[in-house]
Structure 1
Amino acid sequence: MAFQSPKIDDEKFAQIFQKAQAKLDELHASLKFPGGCVGFVLPDGRSGSVSTGVADLKTQTKLKPSDPMLAGSIGKTFVSAATLQLAQEGKLNLDEKIERWLGNESWFARLPNAKDITLRTLLNHSSGIPNHVDDGSFQKAMFKSFGKDIKYEELIAYVLDKKPLFEAGKNFNYADTNYILVGIIVERATGKTLYYEIAQRILKPLRLDDTFPSNKNVLPRVVNGYFQNKPIIAGGKFTVNPQWEWAGGGFASTTEDLARWAKFLYAGDVLQKKYLDEMLGSTTVGEGKGYGLGVEIVQGKFGKSHGHDGEFPGYLSDMRYFPQYKIAVAAQVNADETPEASKFIASAVDDFAQIIIGELVAEKLSEAEKLNLQKTAEDWLKLVDAGKFAESWEGISAELKAKYAKEKWQSTVQPFLKKVGNFKSRKFKNVIAFEAETVTIDFESSFAKLSSAIETLILKREKDGKWRVASHSIK
């Protein structure tokens, strides 16, 4: 069913804003992370943002929606977009070997897979190059030498002479090193700095005024972050220098700017259709099936979404655009490597997308209908928990039955269940009807290998009037 964007008057906008603020305050009270922000863009282009908690635990300064945080790897979306613009202008070629741009460097021959790497394999992480960020000596230097800026070639040095992880283009391994190389190539092709190109091509034209390079050890506008509950800014300076991230991330931003950016980019306002299709369609294998050219592609309860998440010590971020509903949502929290922050960011974008989509298109369910749907979902999940796969097959949709034969259902489901381990507990969260004859039901669940998870069932009402399971996910 095609989504028809409803008229959003001031009253409806206010309702969305108020519900978003209430939900964020509720999550803050429950999880007790320092502070968090959520930004959103509606189908008509109007945007807003809310905040909760504090910008600094010591001073107890209230966090404002306009307070920027380090956005981590979300910065790759700017790098990729600028690179693809250069490709559509004929200044770069996605499938040309990078040897053209880097072959004269003294270190080039020592780069894993050097002669086989293309710009495309860098952008979709299929180059086979290890990630310098995972190198123990890099991590030690990053925390020890926070007062020192680094040359970008020094970052590449951490992977030189290492064995390729796989043949270029044949697998997937997420590596910031890929984007460091892309950044150098962009500068060679343009004769300008990467930050200049992104500012002129993206930030200024789109008026992303609260997004700026995190290329200094002092960034006065950025709020304090907390890494393993310790402040990342001390005496006004970062204890991990953001300048070291560069093309692997390299930006501070607000959630409203990030949500606006996601809608601009993935709705087609930044790239020609051919190159947006390249961005979204240049996936690889394994985990790479969900990663294009600087974009994470997620299939969730609201259909497919496009975006990226980000982590920099002390900060977690996520942004996504939901094309089916023409909305974008971004979330940030000024904490990292704590269970509370991780739990918040894991579901924040979906939580707030649900509020917006619910206000725009959800059908109203009676309490009796909600209870009946909850029982249907719980009864089916109990069969799965008990290993009664043949019986659970009877409760799946006709579409799933056509895809998975009854005798193969157990072998289909079991690998998925083994990843999370044995069931421990489940608490009903909500049920919402986003489309005719379709409902989404969420549970807060716990498993042996995943102590805190959101478990989602999508039920569809079939021709006989019965609700059956069309999708089951745990994350």
Structure 2
Amino acid sequence: MRRTRLAAAVLLAATLTGALSPAAAARPSDPVQRRLDLLVERDGVPGALAYGGGTTRTAGVSDMTTNRQMVGPQGRFRLASNTKAFTATAVMRLVADGRIRLDDRAGTYVPQLATHAVTVRQLLKQTSGLPEYTALVDWSKGGTSQEYLALALGAEPDFEPGTGWGYSNTNYLVLGMVIDRASGVGFRTYVERTILRPLHLDDTYWPAPGELALRGPHARNYGVHPAFPEAGVVDVTELPGYEFGASGGLVSTPGDLDAFWNGLFGGRLLPGWALGLMTRDTTDVGGRDVYPAGSRYGYGIASHPLSCGGVYWGHGGDLPGGSVGGGRATRGRGTVTVYTTTWAGGGESLGHLQGAVDAALCAGGRG
């Protein structure tokens, strides 16, 4: 659920910039607001929001047709790959309870991998070498998790398990299947029981099969629909979220996502040793994909350096209709969520999104 269709994204940025950019105006002194405004005025993002420390900042509009004001922290949005942090936490809960071992072969739980050497730990760390399934799917037809995994297994591995690092949604597709087998209740139910309910994340949910719309208040999303790319830039608010599964299917709000990061790193979901593994057993990913120098990828979470010192832990995520950044910083600097209503995962727009996260956290968590 991350960077794909770069050419389409470039077209999208050009199209929306032409439609939305206002006349140049003096930038506000607030560095977070300034970056949100750059996302809208320079990068052509329809709407952007930053929420942290009880403070909300917005730029742009939530609906390009009506020019309705951008929604606030109660607005729902698709978490995309931030979902992986929830999935990884659920796996570590099963590890802590003795129902999974990190060095178990994934094939112990997933019959399609019975002859493969891939381990649970390698799936969590993105070091399995399993190729990306999302690029192989015909999204006009969809399919099941088993069918998606079969597509990935029919392609050449990116590398031998444990010999490299490569971001692949297939790793978390498989982890969902591992949770299914080990928990006996399905990964969606298990995440609800062990994460959403204990933290009272009442506005976070898994879309039902066939559910395309977002529930409750939300902004509209714009991009190139994966099932109909020939249509160009369209409203992509309605997407088959159920099919994004354990890799990217959750829907939430900025308030709930911040509460998740605070609950995870505040020790409310896992014993200390389990959380320690997630943050210590890491791979240097600086300079790869969207990760700036100094970034490290752990178990479904990544650390990113802050300009003011220390790091923040989060994940990030992208779909055709939105990008999400943020997480919880070290040194008591707080938690923040920043999201946009179109893909902003490359070039200057990525810098402005990540810059808004950095500015908010370096202000000491006051938003």
TM-score, normalisation: structure 1: 0.62
Equivalent position amino acid for 1:209 in 2: D
Hey, what's the Cα distance between the residues in 2 that align with 1:232 and 1:242?
A: 15
Equivalent position amino acid for 1:63 in 2: M
Higher helix share: 1
Hey, what's the Cα distance between the residues in 2 that align with 1:52 and 1:268?
A: 34
* Paired position in structure 2 for 1:53: 60
Kept in 1: contact 2:172–2:246 (CA 8 A): yes
Q: Which residue of 210, 213, 216 corresponds with 1:218? A: 213
Q: Which residue of 318, 321, 326 corresponds with 1:314? A: 321
Equivalent position amino acid for 2:57 in 1: V
What is the deviation of 1:88? 0.3
What is the deviation of 1:261? 1.5
* Paired position in structure 2 for 1:83: 91
> Which residues in structure 2 correspond to 1:196-235 (within 5 Å)?
196-215=189-208, 216-221=211-216, 222-227=218-223, 230-233=233-236
Hey, what's the Cα distance between the residues in 1 that align with 2:358 and 2:303?
A: 14
What is the deviation of 1:339? 6.1
Q: Secondary structure at the match of 1:263?
A: helix
What is the deviation of 1:200? 1.4
* Paired position in structure 2 for 1:162: 155
Equivalent position amino acid for 2:147 in 1: E
* Paired position in structure 2 for 1:294: 300
Hey, what's the Cα distance between the residues in 1 that align with 2:364 and 2:38?
A: 17
In structure 2, the CA distance between the partners of 1:55 and 1:156, relative to structure 1 (3 Å rule), is same
- Deviation digits for residues 31-53 of structure 1, max 9, x if unmatched? 35211111113xxxxx3433332
Q: Which residue of 41, 54, 60 corresponds with 1:30? A: 41
What is the deviation of 1:283? 1.7
Q: Secondary structure at the match of 1:211?
A: coil
Q: Which residue of 47, 52, 69 corresponds with 1:40? A: 52
What is the deviation of 1:312? 1.2
Hey, what's the Cα distance between the residues in 1 that align with 2:48 and 2:39?
A: 8
* Paired position in structure 1 for 2:244: 245
- Alignment RMSD (CA, Å): 2.6
Hey, what's the Cα distance between the residues in 2 that align with 1:98 and 1:283?
A: 20
In structure 2, the CA distance between the partners of 1:322 and 1:275, relative to structure 1 (3 Å rule), is same
Equivalent position amino acid for 1:294 in 2: G
* Paired position in structure 2 for 1:446: none
Kept in 1: contact 2:333–2:363 (CA 8 A): no
Bigger drift between 70-79 and 252-261 goes to 252-261
Hey, what's the Cα distance between the residues in 2 that align with 1:22 and 1:162?
A: 44
What is the deviation of 1:256? 2.2
What is the deviation of 1:286? 5.5
What is the deviation of 1:70? 1.1
Kept in 1: contact 2:303–2:312 (CA 8 A): yes
In structure 2, the CA distance between the partners of 1:78 and 1:286, relative to structure 1 (3 Å rule), is closer
Hey, what's the Cα distance between the residues in 1 that align with 2:257 and 2:222?
A: 21
- Deviation digits for residues 127-160 of structure 1, max 9, x if unmatched? 111111233xx2xx12x23xx5x31111102112
Q: Secondary structure at the match of 1:294?
A: coil
Q: Can you give the 5+ residue segments of structure 2 that lack an aligned partner in the other structure?
A: 1-28, 225-231, 289-294
Q: Can you give the 5+ residue segments of structure 1 that lack an aligned partner in the other structure?
A: 1-17, 42-46, 361-475
Hey, what's the Cα distance between the residues in 1 that align with 2:180 and 2:37?
A: 45
Kept in 2: contact 1:267–1:323 (CA 8 A): no
What is the deviation of 1:207? 1.5
Kept in 1: contact 2:306–2:362 (CA 8 A): no
What is the deviation of 1:82? 0.9
Q: Does 1:186 align with 2:179?
A: yes
Kept in 2: contact 1:80–1:293 (CA 8 A): yes
In structure 2, the CA distance between the partners of 1:188 and 1:264, relative to structure 1 (3 Å rule), is same
Kept in 2: contact 1:171–1:285 (CA 8 A): no
- Deviation digits for residues 78-125 of structure 1, max 9, x if unmatched? 0011110111011111111122212xx3x435xxxx431111100101
Kept in 2: contact 1:40–1:260 (CA 8 A): no
Percent of aligned pairs with the same amino acid: 24
Q: Does 1:273 align with 2:272?
A: yes
Equivalent position amino acid for 1:178 in 2: N
Q: Does 1:257 align with 2:256?
A: yes
Hey, what's the Cα distance between the residues in 1 that align with 2:325 and 2:30?
A: 20
Equivalent position amino acid for 1:169 in 2: G
Equivalent position amino acid for 1:59 in 2: T
TM-score, normalisation: structure 2: 0.79
Kept in 1: contact 2:313–2:327 (CA 8 A): yes
What is the deviation of 1:270? 1.8
Kept in 2: contact 1:171–1:284 (CA 8 A): no
Equivalent position amino acid for 1:275 in 2: A
**Paired residue total:** 318
Bigger drift between 53-62 and 279-288 goes to 279-288
> Which residues in structure 2 correspond to 1:87-106 (within 5 Å)?
87-102=95-110, 105=111
Hey, what's the Cα distance between the residues in 2 that align with 1:19 and 1:300?
A: 17
Equivalent position amino acid for 2:222 in 1: Y
Hey, what's the Cα distance between the residues in 1 that align with 2:337 and 2:82?
A: 11
Higher relative contact order (CA 8 A, sep 6+): 2
In structure 2, the CA distance between the partners of 1:294 and 1:21, relative to structure 1 (3 Å rule), is closer
Kept in 2: contact 1:49–1:255 (CA 8 A): no
> Which residues in structure 2 correspond to 1:139-150 (within 5 Å)?
141-142=138-139, 144-145=140-141, 150=143
Q: Secondary structure at the match of 2:315?
A: strand
Q: Secondary structure at the match of 1:37?
A: strand
